[in-house]
Every structure is written in C-alpha cells, then in structure tokens.
Amino acid sequence: MAQSCIFLVEDNPDDAFLVSRIIGKVCSEEIVLARDGEEAIQLLLQMAEDGSYRRIRLVLLDLKLPKINGIEVLQSIRSSGPLRDLPVAVLTSSDNETDQERCRALGVLEYIFKPLGVEALRRLLPLDKDA
C-alpha cells in the first residue's frame, strides 16, 4: 500500500507552508494540499472513487475557504459513504461558537486555532518522529 498522507485544505499559502513544516517535524506523511473547498471535495471524491482515500491519515481543514467553505466540505465528507469515517481536525482562526458546535456535531477530532503548534499535531498524530 502507498504511504499514508495528511490531506490539508488551506487557501493561505503562508499557513499551508507553516503547517507543512510542522507536519514534517512530527511525521513523515506525504501532504496532499487542496487550496479551496471545491478542490478539496473534487480531490476527495476522486480518492474515494479510486480507493486512495484509505491513505488519508488525517484531514486538516480550514473553515474560511473560497468557493465552498470548510463546514460544507466537512458535511460532504460525512455524507459520502467511503469518506464518512475519515478523521478530520479543523484548523482555523474562527472562534465562532456556532462554527465550533457545527463542527463537533459533524464529528471532528479537534477544533484547533491557528497557528498550529507541534503539540496540537502530536495530540492528533501520536507519531513516529522526535522533534
């Protein structure tokens, strides 16, 4: 089986770079990047179709995305048979309580405020690298 991956949905290139660096400190997973909600759904559905979704160890999902917002992406994940049980953590700057409640109702592992830190990622991925 191919190497596992972290599926990162982040539209801000600086945040995507920083998150990628932190992931590299914690684990050796490949990073699959989607830059907006529409691209995320398309990639995930393609991965569901060809079976490669099984490689996804974690979805890190921003909420404030262009085209389709993160909550809609999360709803799409939870409504898709093969993707339904993917582990999803929200990584966002939104401290909106309604967003947090909706995400928790949709079964996110954790709601993490930006910037992502090494310890928060280690909680999600008790892993294989010493930082």
Q: pLDDT tens, position by position, for the chain (131 residues)? A: 578 999 999 999 999 999 999 998 888 889 999 999 999 999 999 999 999 999 999 999 999 999 999 999 999 999 999 999 999 999 988 889 999 999 999 999 999 998 888 888 888 876 454 44
Q: What is the pTM of this model?
A: 0.91
Query: What integer pLDDT is reported at residue 126 of this predicted model?
Result: 61
* CATH level 2 (architecture), domain 5-124: 3-Layer(aba) Sandwich (3.40)
Measured distance CA(36)–CA(64) in Å, rounded: 9
pLDDT (0 to 100) of residue 129: 44
pLDDT at res. 3: 86
SS3 for the chain is CCCCEEEEECCCHHHHHHHHHHHHHHCCCEEEEECCHHHHHHHHHHHHHHCHHHHEEEEEECCCCCCCCHHHHHHHHHHCCCCCCCCEEEEECCCCHHHHHHHHHCCCCEEEECCCCHHHHHHHCCCCCCC
CA 66, CA 64: separation in Å to the nearest integer?
Answer: 7
The answer to whether 78 and 103 are in contact (CB under 8 A) is no
- What does the pLDDT read at residue 120? 83
